[in-house]
Structure 1
Amino acid sequence: MQKLEDNNDGDQQQQQYKKLREASEEWGCFRIMNHKISLTLMSEMKKVVRELLDLPIDIKKRNTEVIPNSGYVAPTEFSRFFEGLGIYDFGSPHSVDVFCSHLDIPPHREIICSSRVDEEIILMYTQAMHDLAIDLGRMLAKSVGLASELFKGWSCHLRINKYNFTLQTVGSTALRMHTDSGFLTILQDDGNVSGLELVDKSGAFVSIDPWPGTLLVNLGDIAKVWSNGRFCNVKHRVQCKEASTRVSIASFFLGPKEAAVEAPPELVDSENPRQFVPFTYEDYRKLRLSINLHAGEALQFVRSHS
């Protein structure tokens, strides 16, 4: 798995594009080091997340869905150690404000904060993640020789997750193997508690150890479609490896809200024919849910036969 640094010098930037393409094609996963999001903000956001996930369940249930699984997710028989909250369209300050008001975080409340501190942290964090994604989209396009703008105006979804691991759950699977349905996920991992594993080209699981201060990026099904099969949609899962609470923050960049997803013409030629028919992200999301296939298998239903 490649490790990338945020650097703007000309020659070094070209090397970064090369490393980014190699990581995207070989692993579908890479770490970002020395990024522009302050460690203080990341730490403050993690503290807010822990407070939110410790709220009474009747308050957490106010985090209702916009699309399936975009709001509060309680433990189930399939993921009995996991629960999470979500902000759909977190690039919009209004969506963040609605999320905070539903969980009693407006300025006049003192349950969690006394001076809007928590809401400001969430707003700062979501904006920083959105800006970082725009930069990553530009870099991913340049890595394959394009000047495209990715992620602007796209659907996006922030999830804050907690895994309640105990001695009895060690060795079990907390989140089944899957690929992300969208283009790209920026993950602020726990930093202390391991558990994430990805599948390499040989089909073996590789443990991704915590690395405080860095951000992990996974590419999903839409990235594979957009790149005409060049990028890897990485399979991954979460395993329970120690009796501890694991918290993570995932920023998903899904796809265009209305426009069709398809490979740009520059990535299609006689040697690289178009692999997938155009489709909208929303149609693809519904397809994955309807056939209950979550590890990239749904892409076979949108393959081009020409």
Structure 2
Amino acid sequence: MDSQEEQCLPILDFSRDKLAPGTSHWIATRDNVRKAMEEQGWFVAEFNGVSSNLRDNLLAGMKEMYDLPYEVKIKNENHKASHGYMSMVVDDYKIHESLGIDYATELQSCKDFSKLLWPQGNNPFCETTHMYAMALAELDKTVMRMLYESYGIDEKKHSENHSESTRYLLRLLSYRRQQNGEANTGFVSHTDKSFMSILHQNHVAGLKLKTMTDQWVGFNPSPTRFVVLSGMGLTAWSNDRIKPCYHKVVMSEDEIRYSLGFFSFHKGTIFTPEELVDDQNPLRYNPFEHDGLLRFYETYINSMKKSSEDLLQIYCGVKP
């Protein structure tokens, strides 16, 4: 990524020792979070909540996991869309694999996942995935607290309920270029059906993000940089102020790209806070069950054989 692309990236400092609510750094970061989210639906967080040792251990564990037989990995089943084992094969060559740990902030879920893949147990992998999920949940909650505060929403009234009603999915992903040496462009641009997503990875580039000017920019990987993306849940919550972020992966390097996707979902009903509805901003979406959106998406894409940019509007949009 060249210096011009680097300038397009809104990089915000989320260092733990600087983010004390009410300080000038907190207020500036809070305002920049809202600005970036409203303008393009994503930003890059410089976050020191994941140590280099934790990251390295997790990446090593992922390599060990992907070396397991296919018959073992497909045990990672989940009826929710994009929550269990997934793969993409081109000309008998596997270019993508991913597995998911639902409720990853709950230690038992990480234990169950490890036990599923390693019947004899794998405590280091279990502990690593859980510690990682807890660190990213902290980042997710901080971003949401800033959005509540920036929009002048009663945090005590809404934030605690939102936090208690959130579940987190940790997806472990691997990508490689196609066998014939061509760049892997099979991963089409898309938006997430989550509330919010956080992406992290190893050193191999490939992630592309859409800017406010409809340009695609590459993301320069760094151990301490996390891409925070808006999902459809946040779009509905914000009453269309924040649009879901378009992103894609284009693999042109020979190394495997290991990536971590951390997705927040609402366990119950998503609704727009009354503070975000007025004469200039009439209600755009009816309250809806988040898991219901996932079920609708799976049904829609299977029946229509394609995705839709208007999925949220079709599912729960307020009729004119």
| TM-score over 0.5 for the pair | yes
Give the helix-richer structure, 1 or 2: 2
**4+ residue runs over 3 A deviation:** 76-80, 293-296
TM-score of the two chains, using structure 1 as the length reference: 0.89
More moved, 201-210 vs 78-87? 78-87
Distance in 2 between the 1:61 and 1:132 partners?
30
The residue that corresponds to 1:90 in the other structure is 104
Q: CA–CA distance in 2 between the matches of 1:295 and 1:54?
A: 35
The SS at the match of 1:273 is coil
* TM superposition shift of 1:77: 5.4
Secondary structure at the aligned position of 1:193 is classed as coil
Find the aligned partners of 1:56 and 1:90 in 2 and give their Cα distance.
23
Q: Is the 8 A contact 1:81 1:174 kept in 2?
A: no
Cα distance in structure 1, aligned partners of 2:28 and 2:119: 44
- 1:217, distance to aligned residue in structure 2 (A): 0.9
Identity of aligned residues (%): 25
* Structure 2: stretches of 5+ with no match in the other structure: 1-8
Query: Aligned partners of 1:151, 1:252: CA distance in 2, in Å?
Result: 14
- Aligned residue number for residue 144 of structure 1: 151
**Tell me, what secondary structure is at the counterpart of 1:75?**
strand
1:39 corresponds to which of 49, 52, 64? 52
Q: Could you tell me which residue of structure 1 aligns to residue 217 of structure 2?
A: 206
Map of 1:1-306 to 2, 5 A cutoff? 1-6=9-14, 7-9=18-20, 10-76=23-89, 80-104=94-118, 106-107=120-121, 116-146=123-153, 147=155, 148-149=158-159, 150-166=162-178, 168-190=180-202, 192-255=203-266, 257-258=267-268, 260-292=269-301, 294=307, 296-301=309-314, 302-306=316-320
Residues 127-159 of structure 1 show CA distances to partners (whole Å, capped at 9, x for unaligned) of 222233222221222222222323433232110
How far 1:30 moved relative to its partner? 1.0
| Total equivalences in the alignment | 296
Unaligned runs of 5+ in 1: 108-112
Is the contact made by 1:157 and 1:251 (CA closer than 8 Å) also made in structure 2? Answer: yes
1:17 CA displacement: 0.7
Q: CA deviation at 1:271?
A: 0.9
Distance of 1:128 and 1:94 partners within structure 2? 17
Alpha carbon RMSD of aligned pairs, Å?
Answer: 2.1
Q: Report the CA distance between 1:105 and its aligned residue.
A: 6.2
What's the secondary structure of 1:202's corresponding residue? coil
Alpha-carbon offset, residue 66 of structure 1: 4.3
Structure 1: distance between partners of 2:134 and 2:300: 34
